[in-house]
Amino acid sequence: MFDRCVKHSDCLVENTVCLLRYCVPAQPIFSDENQCRTNWHCRCGVIDIFERSGRFCKNGYCFRLIDAFDSVGCRTHNDCPFNSLCISRHCVYAESTNKPCLRTGFCGIGERCIQGICYQPSSLIIHPSIETVYPESPVVIIVSPRGSISTDLTNIIEDKLAANSNKELPLIIPPHIIL
């Protein structure tokens, strides 16, 4: 369910990078100078320390972390919204391991103790109102049924929209589809 890694290339989902042994969502940085060999190539020339700390080189291209729930940098987990962790000065999406803890030392590598429960970075993007996580997809997005979907999605999504036309639904969007 959770993508583990040692290096960025271990993250098989296209738009993820390896952070504290977990694959976490990231977006490519499109520019003429996007090519890289190390994380330093992606961070060089970036003045803002929060922005710089969230840049990584994966497969020769620069990526930036996707900040959970549009948060703006952090120094501790308390700076982040619920269901996210402060890692590399960025709030990244997180999921509970359901393991109780007194402090982070009771949790596994890359995990953090928050309010007595161990949390680990997630390769999913989670909307705070969704309790169900879809492990087969790296992204969960909420779309109102009255809104428009500009991309032809799967029959599964169309069936969910038809069955539940008066409420917001979790939609599974493959990482290569851009809405």
Least confident of 21-30, 72-81, 84-93, 162-171: 162-171
Work out the number of other CB atoms within 10 angstroms of the CB of residue 175: 15
First to last CA, the chain: 25
**Considering all CA atoms of the chain, what is the largest pairwise distance in Å, rounded to the nearest integer?**
50
Check residue 117 and give its pLDDT.
92
Among 63, 48, 50, smallest CA distance to 18 is for 63
* Tens digit of each residue's pLDDT (9 = 90 or more) over 27-52: 888 766 658 888 888 887 776 766 77
Q: Both tokens of residue 25?
A: 């969502």
* Tens digit of each residue's pLDDT (9 = 90 or more) over 77-119: 888 888 888 888 888 888 889 999 999 889 988 888 888 999 9
State how far the Cα of 89 lies from the Cα of 48, in Å rounded to an integer: 11
